[in-house]
């Protein structure tokens, strides 16, 4: 078992080093820029009728669609960052989930712009504008609440034993690698469906569904190293927050924002209560 975890450590650390390298970050940013500009050019060629009919039939006609493509790629990059954060801290990975949700809400705002005609006809925009305000407002609220959430975090070791702590971190790295494999497989399957002209699935909704199971798995794994009530409740509560986020991704407009903000407030409440429990335990030990 220890040998397997050692190999997991080596593989994970290598992948994480590559992903967090400045060169990789610049390459990802350059890819986003090239994709965005390339999408604008291709869409304009489609509008001018300069593309073959077979290709033009599967391409959008709105320039705003280029924003949606760029944001979708940005979200994919953030999901990869989330996968790596699982091994570092459960609370940090939960925070990353809400960061991604806030970006998804912003992407929804841009997706509403796709329905605008060029040139813009204001008489046809009241409903999309209300959706944009709802999504943008929800994203802003999440952004503000995330600041409070991270401020409340007080990272503590699960167990005083260095050996036990190291083994627990290795177990989380194993879960991260599993998520990375699942994420990669989903991305390839989604791309093949799109290129084949088949209906694609809701990538982020499915990924958050998988995150629910990974959160529960982490709760069970943590029990091998500590049965502390506060830790079990906190990690289980974070899993519930992920469930609510998953519901938000498929809820209708306005309801999705309320669910997302509600899940964020729930996570903050869990963190606050967890910190209070730690203070009570400390006072009890000193008394």
**pLDDT, tens only, 32-81:** 999 999 999 999 999 898 888 878 887 888 888 898 889 989 999 999 99
pLDDT value of residue 224: 85
Q: Is residue 29 part of a domain?
A: yes
Could you tell me if 4 and 170 are in contact, meaning their C-beta atoms sit under 8 angstroms apart?
no
pLDDT value of residue 2: 63
Could you tell me if 121 and 106 are in contact, meaning their C-beta atoms sit under 8 angstroms apart?
no
Question: What is the number of domains present in the chain?
Answer: 1
Alpha-carbon gap, residue 256 to 262, rounded angstroms: 10
Q: Is residue 22 part of a domain?
A: yes
Instruction: Work out the percent of the chain whose per-residue pLDDT is above 90.
Output: 58
Q: Is residue 218 part of a domain?
A: yes
Sequence-ordered list of residues with C-beta below 8 angstroms from that of 212, at least 6 positions apart, any chain: 239, 242, 243, 246
Residue 173 belongs to domain spanning = 2-282
Query: Does pTM top 0.75 for this prediction?
Result: yes
pLDDT band at 124 (very low <50, low <70, confident <90, very high): low
Token duo for residue 64:
């705003």
- pLDDT tens per residue across span 203-249: 889 999 999 999 999 999 988 887 788 888 999 999 999 999 999 99
pLDDT exceeds cutoff 60 at 287: no
Token duo for residue 243:
């469930």
- pLDDT tens per residue across span 155-200: 766 656 778 788 888 999 999 999 999 999 998 998 888 777 788 8
pLDDT value of residue 286: 35
- pLDDT tens per residue across span 176-187: 999 999 999 998
Q: What is the mean pLDDT of the chain?
A: 88
Q: Is residue 85 part of a domain?
A: yes
Q: Is residue 26 part of a domain?
A: yes
More confident residue, 67 or 124: 67
Nearest Cα neighbor of 267 from 246, 244, 250 is 244
Token duo for residue 124:
């046809």
Q: Is residue 250 part of a domain?
A: yes
CA angle 21, 26, 31 (to 5 degrees): 125
Q: Is residue 287 part of a domain?
A: no
Cis peptide before 119 (omega within 30 of 0): yes
pLDDT value of residue 279: 64
């Amino acid at each position: 078992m220890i040998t397997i975890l050692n190999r997991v450590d080596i593989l994970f650390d290598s992948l994480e080093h590559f992903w967090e390298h400045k060169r990789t970050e610049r390459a990802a940013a350059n890819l986003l820029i090239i994709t965005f500009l390339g999408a604008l050019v291709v869409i304009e060629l489609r509008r001018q009728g300069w593309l073959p009919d077979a290709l033009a039939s599967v391409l959008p006609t709105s320039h705003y669609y280029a924003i949606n493509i760029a944001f979708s790629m940005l979200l994919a990059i953030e999901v990869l960052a989330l996968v790596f954060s699982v091994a570092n801290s459960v609370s940090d990975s939960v925070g990353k989930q809400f960061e991604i949700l806030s970006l998804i809400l912003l992407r929804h705002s841009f997706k509403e712009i796709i329905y605008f005609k060029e040139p813009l006809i204001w008489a046809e925009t009241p409903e999309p504008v209300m959706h944009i305000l709802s999504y943008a407002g929800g994203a802003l609220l999440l952004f503000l609440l995330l600041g409070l959430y991270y401020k409340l975090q007080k990272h503590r070791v699960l167990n005083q034993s260095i050996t036990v702590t190291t083994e627990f971190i290795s177990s989380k790295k194993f879960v991260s690698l599993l998520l990375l494999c699942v994420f990669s497989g989903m991305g390839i399957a989604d791309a093949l469906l799109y290129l084949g002209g088949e209906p694609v699935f809701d990538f982020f909704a499915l990924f958050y569904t998988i995150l629910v199971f990974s959160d529960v798995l982490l709760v069970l794994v943590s029990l091998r190293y500590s049965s502390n009530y506060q830790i079990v409740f906190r990690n289980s509560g974070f899993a519930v927050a992920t469930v609510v986020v998953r519901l938000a991704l498929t809820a209708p407009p306005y309801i999705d924002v309320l669910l997302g903000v509600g899940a964020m407030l729930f996570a903050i409440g869990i963190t606050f209560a967890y910190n209070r429990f730690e203070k009570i335990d400390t006072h009890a030990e000193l008394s």
